[in-house]
Amino acid sequence: MKRAWAVVPLFIVLVLLFLPKLFLVPSVTRELEAELAAGLHTEALELEIKAPWGWELLLGRIPSLTLAARDASLEGVAVAQVAVEGEEILFQPWTLFRQRELVITRISKLTGSLTITEDALNEMFWREVDPSRRLWLEVLPEGLAVVGTVGLWNMDLSIRVLGDVLVESGSVLGFEVKEVAVQEASLPPQLLEVLAGSFGFTLDLGEFPLPVEVRAVELLDHEIKIQIGGQQ
Q: Do 71 and 78 touch, CB atoms closer than 8 A?
A: yes
Kindly tell me the sign of the dihedral angle through the C-alpha atoms of 161, 118, 221, 203.
positive
Judged on CB neighbours under 10 Å (0-12, 13-18, 19+), 183 is exposed
Q: What is the pLDDT along the chain (232 residues), one digit of tens a residue?
A: 445 444 445 444 444 455 556 667 788 888 889 889 999 999 999 999 888 877 788 888 899 999 999 999 998 899 999 999 999 989 888 887 777 777 888 889 899 999 999 999 999 889 988 898 998 999 999 999 989 887 766 777 788 888 899 888 778 888 888 887 776 655 555 555 555 556 667 788 777 888 888 999 999 999 999 999 877 6
Amino acid identity of 131? P
Q: Do 126 and 57 touch, CB atoms closer than 8 A?
A: no
pTM: 0.82
